[in-house]
Amino acid sequence: MEPRARAGKNVGKMNFSHAELAQLLYAHGDIKNPMPETVRVLDEILTDFMQSIAFEANRAANYSGRQKIKYEDFEFAFRKNPSFLGKVQEVFEKQKEIKKAREILRDGEDEIMKDAAEEEKRKEKAAPKTNKVEEELGEADDDAEAEADALGKRR
């Protein structure tokens, strides 16, 4: 189905939640509880904008002979509006920074775990081995020890 033909499917339906759009309006200077008509109009505007950008990105991908849309296709779609293009580029740069930070953190955790395992092995080798088996104590043992102490103190 042609992407523009799909746009007619959502006419009259809200694609974003009322609460999200109300918060967006409030963040940009509107009242806390905007009129339902205002929210509906904003929903239509946002939906139309997103569909048009996705359509342009899809055309760029098809022109390149791909079925999947890539980041570069959105860059091409935003080429006429430098402020939108800058915001999209900023979001993807932040995403790359977050990904690098997660890899560094994961690598650091792996090194810490390896160091801890090596330290544990060194301690096991250094400690003298004894055939003494430690018995796990339960509550019954605690009671028996307490009774034995009590009897020993009385004598």
Residue-wise pLDDT tens digits, 5-48? 555 666 668 889 999 999 999 999 999 999 999 999 999 999 99
Closest Cα partner for 69 from 56, 58, 81, 83? 58
Per the structure block, which two tokens stand in for 27?
Answer: 């963040």
Q: In one letter, which amino acid is 140?
A: A
Q: What is the pLDDT, as a whole number, of residue 14?
A: 85
71 Cβ contact list (under 8 Å, min separation 6): 92
Residue-wise pLDDT tens digits, 60-90? 999 999 999 998 898 899 988 899 899 888 9
